[in-house]
Amino acid sequence: MASEKVETVVAGNCVEMEREEGDPKTAKSKLSRLFWHGGSVYDAWFSCASNQVAQVLLTLPYSFSQLGMVSGIVFQLFYGLLGSWTAYLISVLYVEYRTRKEREKVDFRNHVIQWFEVLDGLLGKHWRNAGLFFNCTFLLFGSVIQLIACASNIYYINDNLDKRTWTYIFGACCATTVFIPSFHNYRIWSFLGLVMTTYTAWYLAIASLIHGQVEGVKHSGPTTMVLYFTGATNILYTFGGHAVTVEIMHAMWKPQKFKMIYLIATLYVLTLTLPSASAVYWAFGDMLLTHSNALSLLPRSGFRDTAVVLMLIHQFITFGFACTPLYFVWEKFIRIHDTKSVFKRALARLPVVIPIWFLAIIFPFFGPINSTVGSLLVSFTVYIIPALAHMLTFASASARENAVERPPSFLGGWTGSYSVNSFVVVWVLIVGFGFGGWASMLNFIRQVDTFGLFTKCYQCPPHKA
């Protein structure tokens, strides 16, 4: 078996680790580094960009029908900026934690640092418990949403089986992600995932423009407060996909270079979400209120079937992205996280998939579940907790003086940083969690009352004989 060489380089205040598997001159090693063993800035960018939008791309037109065109565009820009800021805060706290630990001679070469550990090291066990609860619950339901989306999409190609049966099938398929060791190994998948969402986004935009507006199209949104804040929290969820930021950073050879990656990824994602959501809403208007999956309104064609297949593959990738941090937590809990056996780790991870599979069958509400998860979980996981944690970590003068990463000068240094963080906490707590939680839960309860739990085929058109 080929040996593993580890090169450790000190750069600034953080140790950078780079692994080269096997002899770099062999064809096998070259292929491994090309397709499998990633850790560059580009790998991190592809991971952030492909993971950020995922299946939400298909529900953003639904959000536009709830919000109206103007509010839909404004909220995308606003939450895109807010999400980029809190992703930056998470990266700062990660580097701070890792630097402090490495000064104490802690070695992370066989250990993946996670968000709850960063909170534990910087702020103590109560913050660790809060981070663990919100992050794991969000990733759990994020994985559930991917399974629901798989069943919703495949139904538009093959309706011989109901959506619940497709959920059973795709649950088994997505369980194979237990064999992917870590985020190092998503190099080719992240690249392909972004290609897939790019194709789907531009297909939605172009197909809607070619289709034109349906007869008697109406653009009534917003009509009620419930719909308005439900749509807003779905967009908050869209740009709150950085619950795996720490794991992506840890997979980088040089995590200090992460700083602007999420912002650049967000700018690219906006070039996909704004044209597609606007075009679909322009073409179909209020019809989207009862069609949360945008693909359901476009006529079947080879291009649409291609978009469906590509999104199915992408949802498999995103399922892996959401589940891998859960796998790590479970491995640490049962004390096998440092084992080198891929097969042993895969077997140990299987119990994580079972509750995800079950929840996707109970709550198959594509669209409404995004808003509910966004308001109740994303609001804390990737907005409120990072902003509060950053303020408390650097509350003392000595902590600010010895900080590894200082706030940008154009924001006004520490004063400006604290002002922005305070705004994020107040806004998301009141608008995202408060109004958004109220609206999303009402909408979700209506779906349960209308369709019931364990529904076989949510929002399915009448089956043609």
Q: How many Cβ atoms are within 10 Å of 93's Cβ, its own excluded?
A: 25
Asked if the model's pLDDT at residue 2 lies above 80, the reply is no
Report the pLDDT value the prediction gives residue 134, as an integer from 0 to 100: 93
Query: 188 or 452: whose pLDDT is higher?
Result: 188
Q: What is the pLDDT of residue 20?
A: 42
Return the CATH architecture of domain 51-396+410-451. Answer: Up-down Bundle (1.20)
Q: Return the H-helix or E-strand segment holding 11.
A: strand 4-11
CB atoms within 10 A of CB 274: 18
Share of the chain above pLDDT 70, in %: 87
If you write DSSP's letter for every residue of 300-344 in order, what string do you get?
Answer: P-HHHHHHHHHHHHHHHHHHHHHHHHHHHHHHHHTT-TT---HHH
What predicted TM-score, i.e. pTM, was given to this entire model?
A: 0.86
Q: Which two tokens stand for residue 336?
A: 């096998």
Asked if 159 and 451 count as a contact pair (C-beta separation under 8 A), the reply is no
Better pLDDT: 131 or 293: 131
User: How many CA atoms within 13 Å lie on the side-chain side of 437?
Assistant: 12
Res 254 pLDDT > 60: yes
Per-residue model confidence (pLDDT) at position 196: 93
Most confident of 122-131, 234-243, 255-264: 122-131
- Distance, CA of 427 to CA of 429 (rounded, Å): 6
Asked whether the predicted pLDDT for residue 77 surpasses 70, the reply is: yes
pLDDT-based confidence at residue 68 (cuts at 50, 70, 90): very high
Q: How far is CA 318 from the centre of its chain?
A: 7
Q: What is the mean pLDDT of residues 200-218?
A: 95
Residues 304 and 298: beta-carbon distance below 8 Å: yes
353-392 b/e (C-beta count within 10 Å ≥ 16 → b): beebbebbbebbbbbbbbbbbbbbbbbbbbbbbbbbbbbe
- pLDDT tens-digit series, residues 322-380: 899 999 999 999 989 888 888 999 999 999 998 888 888 877 765 567 677 878 888 99
pLDDT in tens, 277-299: 999 999 999 999 988 888 889 99
Question: In this predicted structure, what is the pLDDT of residue 31?
Answer: 61
Instruction: Give me the mean pLDDT over the 182-211 stretch.
Output: 92
Backbone angles phi, psi at 300, to 5 degrees: -70, 135
Spell 4-26 as b/e; 16+ CB within 10 A means b.
Answer: eeeeeeeeebbbbbeebbbeeee
**Beta carbons of 365 and 434 less than 8 angstroms apart:** no
